Amino acid sequence: MTAAPVDIELARSFGLKDDEYETVLNIMGRTPSLTELGIFSVMWSEHCSYKSSRLHLKTLPTKAPWVIHGPGENAGVIDIGEGLAAVFKMESHNHPSFIEPYQGAATGVGGILRDVFTMGARPIANLNALRFGDPSHKDTKRVVDGVVRGIGGYGNCMGVPTVGGEVNFHSSYNCNPLVNAMTVGLARQDRIFLSAAAGVGNPVVYVGSKTGRDGIHGATMSSAEFDSESSSKRPTVQVGDPFTEKLLLEACLELMATDAVISIQDMGAAGLTSSAVEMASKGGVGIDLDLDHVPQREANMQAYEMMLSESQERMLMVLRPDRTEAARKIFEKWELDFAIVGKLTDSGRITVRHNGKVEADIPLGPLADEAPIYDRPTMKYERQPALVPPADPCGVEKGLLRLLSSANGASRAWIWNQYDSGVGGQTVQRPGGADAAIVRVEGTDRGLAMTTDCTPRYGQADPYIGGAQAVLEVWRNLTATGAKPLAMTDNLNFASPENPRIMTQFVEAVKGIGDAGRALDFPVVSGNVSLYNETRGDDGSVTAIQPAPVIGGVGVLEDVQKAVGLAMPQDGELLLVGETKGELGQSMWLKEILGREEGAPPAVDFAAERQNGDFVREQIQKGAVEACHDVADGGLIVALAEMAMAGNVGCSLEKGPDALPEHVFWFAEDQARYVLATKQADAVVKAAQAAGVPVRRLGRAGGNALKLGDMAVPVQHLRKQHASFFPRFMGKQEDDAPVVHLDELP
């Protein structure tokens, strides 16, 4: 490449603001070199520096007696008993997944896997949270297809089961889908590896794939909004190689079983730059890199390109000098590159040499300490007034079938049937079997429950509730399996923080997450922020995504045998735990049946949530519960239908309470509710009453139809409707499951 002059113009094109460039000049005391400017621009990008979000993230609860490492490391680490730790985090790969869906999603999975095994953990499960545009938008099918193939392609090859996830469609994601990937790993508590470098003179070692020109400035791209030029940024999307990552995983774990590793950091966003800077800064040391030794895939790469490349499947490590050769042998066995590319110094600087010339020499202190931080303006958020419940145009049966065959209510089996959910041989609950996935902890009787969730339409109407409700639903999903929820990871997807309305969404959502987490002793141990998720149209108009503060949660079951799923049993009584006031605002029913996205979302009540959840968990642990499902999108009738479809068993329901119109009772999305199937209904009801927990008898499990009054829908018919959307949408017609069209409604 030709050397462009380093000036304010170039700095702007690298994404630096004018005053940020001013600070760079002050720190350096001279005009920076191209490589130096590149390093500053990626380290100070929103993606790497969290400059708009940091002030607010600090308010989140991050501590609990079982938290071993909270935010700040590659992933969060929690104590799950027996000397073992769960290591987990979620991360987004949104922008690349629109430009190049397969590679965008695949490398998203690859990146989060590395974050987890960097810490010494073997990944035991992958999950995801996906948001796609309206199914009728021209790009949606292409994006769904590529993203699903990409997630499967990477995870399946790695041999890490993809056990859970969630998917929604909304027009605000038409040109800005969300791909959030979560990995959960398992490690011994006494063998956790961190990134802080130590030991002046110790070798800095590069392992994994060679460095190419892919992904240069990826971190900067993901810190800017989208426009019609974005697809020309395809070269900034990285290309994944899951086979190499599998080798890297096995080689790293083999090396970590020795005492060779002092510190280790994967090369993710901003590649060699951010890994080297982070390791040295955290360790309070300097670092010298000689790029001549970096394994290179392409000829004549410049220092700037090597420092900013986001080539995948690479790690940087500091090793004990006397173990370096033993380490080299392990990587040779796995046929991976292994190169000593530098050493730690006491200079407090990062110095980069290439072809005998110093290409960058930056003091690490100011690079970190003088990184920009913004307290961006917010405003009063205009919340939607409570909804006046509209009349029911179609009846419960039609409404139910319509919801089950809608994009957002349909079975996701088409997706998860492309993900290997059983590899590893520990999967207890596969997708669709329970409210949370359950994976046994190898060699123990324990199980980990894990899930992801978020309801963006709630957050759009009330960002505080959006943040809090995501936490509550995750906590509830873990609870519904019988697990004790331990901690969460958050992935905060928002539009431009420079817009006060969006910044308000962010601040309120973080408040909601924090309050919910504190109320439930459910701390945030890791996370990721993805901003600028918006699209600028050719006419200059901006489409912001519905805010998506996605939460991933992990819980533990001391005895995995006690876990319950959601499948309707052949027999038993059905109970509703929790109160139904009739919240139809922002409900799925309102959107799908009346085409309205209106009203206040359901209220959150932390005390009720905790009380009801603790009660349900206790009943499951006692063995009183056959199946359990939380009530969420679509309300009670959808929850019951989902149980029936999962178990292939029907149920006979009694009429709702007189105080509420029938459709309000069955479709309302009031929070803190669970359906229990039990053979000990009297005892459970008595215990609930004693604990002050609202409980209501709904009917009985059994038969082969879902019956309510005059309505009797065969479970087979429900299943057919539920399974119809994806094959039809993705281009394969299911034989005889017609769409329930709105115009067929009376």
Partner 1 sequence: MKTGIVVFPGTNRERDMAQAFRVVSGKTPQMLWHQQDNVDGLDLIVLPGGFSFGDYLRSGAMAAHSPIMKAVRQFAEKGGYILGVCNGFQILTESQLLPGALLRNAGQRFLSQDCHLKVEGRDSIFTSGWKHGDVFRAPMAHGDGNYTAAPDVLDRLEGEGRVAFRYCTAEGHVKDSDEHVNMNGSARSIAGVLSENRRVCGLMPHPENLTEEILGGTDGLPLFTGIMEALG
Beta-strand pair 427-429/705-708: unpaired
**Which x/- pattern over 320-359 shows residues binding partner 1 (rule: CB under 8 A)?**
--------------xx------------------------
Backbone angles phi, psi at 58, to 5 degrees: -60, -20
**Which x/- pattern over 388-427 shows residues binding partner 1 (rule: CB under 8 A)?**
-------------------------x--xxxxxxxxxxxx
> Cβ closer to partner 1: 210 or 430?
430
User: Rounded to an integer, what distance in angstroms lies between the CA atom of residue 154 and that of residue 160?
Assistant: 9
Which of these segments, 241-249, 453-461, 622-630, 647-655, binds partner 1 (CB under 8 A)?
Answer: 241-249
Using CB under 8 A as the binding rule, whether residue 704 contacts partner 1 is answered as no
Using CB under 8 A as the binding rule, whether residue 731 contacts partner 1 is answered as no
Q: Which of 69, 93, 170, 722 is catalytic?
A: 93
DSSP 577-623: ES------TT-HHHHHHH----SPPPP--HHHHHHHHHHHHHHHHHT
For partner 1, the binding residue among 93, 95, 131, 246 (CB under 8 A) is 246
- Burial of 1 (C-beta count, 10 Å sphere; 0-12/13-18/19+): exposed
Which of these segments, 96-104, 236-244, 294-302, 517-525, binds partner 1 (CB under 8 A)?
Answer: 236-244
> Which residue(s) pair with 345 in the sheet?
286
User: Rounded to an integer, what distance in angstroms lies between the CA atom of residue 147 and that of residue 140?
Assistant: 10
Minimum Å gap between C-beta 101 and partner 1 is: 15
Residues 208, 294 contacting (CB under 8 angstroms)? no
Minimum Å gap between C-beta 636 and partner 1 is: 28
Chain position carrying tokens 């968990």? 617
Using CB under 8 A as the binding rule, whether residue 117 contacts partner 1 is answered as no
Question: Which residue type sits at 602?
Answer: P
Using CB under 8 A as the binding rule, whether residue 153 contacts partner 1 is answered as yes
Chain position carrying tokens 């004018």? 18
User: Rounded to an integer, what distance in angstroms lies between the CA atom of residue 666 and that of residue 643?
Assistant: 15
Q: Which of 47, 170, 217, 722 is catalytic?
A: 47
Q: Which of 121, 117, 127 is nearest to 161 (CA)?
A: 127
> Cβ closer to partner 1: 38 or 432?
432
User: Diameter of the chain by CA atoms?
Assistant: 84
Using CB under 8 A as the binding rule, whether residue 560 contacts partner 1 is answered as yes
Residues 358, 36 contacting (CB under 8 angstroms)? no
16-32 in b/e burial notation, b at 16+ Cβ within 10 A? Answer: beeebbebbeebbeeeb
For partner 1, the binding residue among 167, 270, 428, 641 (CB under 8 A) is 428
Which of these segments, 238-246, 309-317, 363-371, 402-410, binds partner 1 (CB under 8 A)?
Answer: 238-246
User: Rounded to an integer, what distance in angstroms lies between the CA atom of residue 575 and that of residue 702?
Assistant: 14
Residues 385, 599 contacting (CB under 8 angstroms)? yes
Minimum Å gap between C-beta 121 and partner 1 is: 15
Q: State yes or no: is 629 an active-site residue.
A: no
Beta-strand pair 484-493/524-530: parallel
Beta strands in 364-446 (DSSP E): 427-429, 437-440
User: Rounded to an integer, what distance in angstroms lies between the CA atom of residue 95 and that of residue 467?
Assistant: 22
Q: State yes or no: is 47 an active-site residue.
A: yes
Using CB under 8 A as the binding rule, whether residue 569 contacts partner 1 is answered as no
Using CB under 8 A as the binding rule, whether residue 158 contacts partner 1 is answered as yes
**Which x/- pattern over 263-302 shows residues binding partner 1 (rule: CB under 8 A)?**
----------------------------------------
> Cβ closer to partner 1: 239 or 371?
239
Q: Is 490 annotated among the ligand-binding residues?
A: yes
> Cβ closer to partner 1: 321 or 727?
727
Q: Is 92 annotated among the ligand-binding residues?
A: yes
DSSP 635-658: HHHHHHHHHHHHHT--EEE----T
User: Rounded to an integer, what distance in angstroms lies between the CA atom of residue 96 and that of residue 233?
Assistant: 9
User: Rounded to an integer, what distance in angstroms lies between the CA atom of residue 633 and that of residue 641?
Assistant: 12
Q: Is 288 annotated among the ligand-binding residues?
A: no
Q: Is 310 annotated among the ligand-binding residues?
A: yes
For partner 1, the binding residue among 159, 366, 390, 395 (CB under 8 A) is 159
- Active-site amino acid positions: 47, 93
Residues annotated in the binding site for Mg(2+), as ranges? Answer: 91, 115, 266, 528
Residues annotated in the binding site for ATP, as ranges? Answer: 50, 89, 490, 527
Residues annotated in the binding site for substrate, as ranges? Answer: 92-95, 114, 238, 310-312, 530
Residues annotated in the binding site, as ranges? Answer: 50, 89, 91-95, 114-115, 238, 266, 310-312, 490, 527-528, 530
Contact residues toward partner 1 (CB under 8 A) are 149, 152-153, 156-159, 241-244, 246-247, 334-335, 413, 416-428, 430, 440, 442, 560-561
